[in-house]
Amino acid sequence: MHKLSRLAALLVAGAIVSAPALAAEKGKAFATVNGQPISQTVFNAFTAEQQAQGAPDSPELKDAIKEELVRREILAQEAKKKGLDKNPNIQGQIELAKQAVLIRAFLSDYVKAHPISEAQLKAEYELIKTNLGSTEYKSRHVLVEKEEDAKAIIAKLDKGEKFSELAKQSKDPGSKDKGGDLGWSSPAAYVKPFGEALTKLKKGEYTKTPVKSDFGYHVIQLEDSRPATPPPFDQVKPQLQQRASQQQIENLVKELRVKAKVD
């Protein structure tokens, strides 16, 4: 249940993809365009990228890649004729692109050198199951801006008005048109005050006092509860692997950032 930075999420997306080793053929050209060679290494890199995305190795793929690289070289030459490669903004973008490739290569190497064990994934799975609890709840709510509005809704419920009708005034767009229905979920899926209030209700009851959260004031009704049935480990293992890799890279970045000297 860790909150990861956007940086870690983006970096791991590149890091967990296997980066095939490229042939050391930098000096060898596979094609020449207007006297300018395109190296075999560039061709190999582009081919590996396409195959990583599922393209089958075939003569047709090689022909398509050659044509694509030739077109790119023609356009790059035209850009240089216009002096665009001297533009500071363009130079900055080129440096960023080079940096991104190096980062992906470094992180790919790091993840391979520090594999996440099955035991680690199972431990995280058990922790998540514990945090989610053994019971899930089917509930409704009405969310309003002011406490007095929530109290007015509770008073109307006390008089017998239907929860589903009162939910139409909720400021929660995801549930207001469904009578406030939130479906089945664990209390841990909600903000803490909401989840705590939900677990104290009995079937059919609603909160007699407004429940305050960062979103406003809630009136909550419990419709039913049942034992939680989490998905089996093997079903969620890929998500756990992704999450563990993100956390691993987040920790690495934090460690390197602390050590870095920034003037």
Strand-pair partners of 213 = 216
Strand-pair partners of 33 = 36
CA atoms in the 13 A half-sphere facing the CB of 186: 14
Q: What is the pLDDT of residue 164?
A: 94
Q: Rounded CA gap, 118 and 122, in Å?
A: 6
Q: Phi, psi (5° rounding) for residue 246? A: -60, -45
Q: Rounded CA gap, 249 and 256, in Å?
A: 10
Q: How remote is the C-alpha of 230 from its chain's centroid?
A: 21
Give the number of other CB atoms < 10 A from CB of residue 112. Answer: 12
- Give the type of residue at 23: A
Q: What is the pLDDT of residue 149?
A: 97
Q: What is the pLDDT of residue 3?
A: 45
What is the DSSP pairing of strand 36-39 with strand 29-33?
antiparallel
From first to last of the 263 residues of the chain, give the pLDDT tens digit: 344 455 555 444 444 443 333 334 445 888 999 999 999 999 999 999 899 899 999 999 999 999 999 999 999 999 999 999 999 999 999 999 999 999 999 999 999 999 999 999 999 999 999 988 889 999 999 999 999 999 999 999 999 999 999 999 999 999 999 999 999 999 999 999 999 999 999 999 999 999 999 999 999 999 999 999 889 999 999 999 999 999 999 999 999 999 999 98
Single pTM value for the model: 0.62
Strand-pair partners of 218 = 143, 211
Smallest Cα–Cα separation from 221: which of 171, 175, 257, 252? 175
First vs last C-alpha separation in the chain? 35
Q: What is the pLDDT of residue 6?
A: 53
